[in-house]
Amino acid sequence: MAEAERIIGTPDTPDAAGDGRERPGSEDTGARAGESGTAPTGPAAAGASGTGEPETAAGPAPRGRRRIAVLFAVALFAYALDLISKLIVVAKLEHHPPIEIIGDWLKFEAIRNAGAAFGFGEAFTVIFTVIAAAVIVVIARLARKLYSLPWAIALGLLLGGALGNLTDRIFRAPGVFEGAVVDFIAPKHFAVFNLADSAIVCGGILIVLLSFKGLDPDGTVHKD
């Protein structure tokens, strides 16, 4: 009997171990699974990056659109508005009586200011010029990782205002980097200022509000 079994052989069983042979059809099971187009599930679906976000054939899913164009558009608008207003003030209002807009509460009066915003620190004109240039450089560098629309508007206001006053510092009398800024908005019981100062203040207030809300320039929100 044992001799007959040796000659005929025994059939393969699914749980046979160590015989080094595979069951029929097991060789192409993986190939058929890949050809069926079924998306993987579970940990494999998280992608090779391990971030838990699906990846496309071209790489990870896009993070979003940078807001550099918005930043420079707002800056250009603020700068152009400030520059045009100063040209009109110098041509039509300088060396002329003030124009009353709302009685004594608001007047347009041309004043040359050698200090910072709102007339402060007239003895440090060169220092304020350097600070304005540094602010422009910092904003330009920050634009590379800017994904937040509110931050783009805020930084655009700062950039446009800084450029407006820096233009006066460079090109107006008494000399390069010592030029006096043209101010003309004169509220009652308050310092005289210009549109560049207004843009800088509005941009600064917006940045403070965004910081309190936890919104970063890259679009992420953090909780303290």
Q: Which residues are marked as active site?
A: 183, 197
Alpha helices in 149-194 (DSSP H): 149-171
Q: Of 133, 134, 195, give the one whose Cα is nearest residue 166.
A: 133
* Non-local CB neighbours of 197 within 8 Å, separated by 6+ positions: 117, 118, 161, 165, 183
* Non-local CB neighbours of 190 within 8 Å, separated by 6+ positions: 118
* 3 state SS for 2-69: HHHHHHHCCCCCCCCCCCCCCCCCHHHHHHHHHHCCCCCCHHHHHCCCCCCCCEECCEECCCCCCCHH
Examine residue 174 and say whether the peptide bond preceding it is cis (omega within 30 degrees of 0). Answer: yes
* Non-local CB neighbours of 41 within 8 Å, separated by 6+ positions: none
* CA–CA gap between residue 62 and residue 55 (Å, rounded): 9
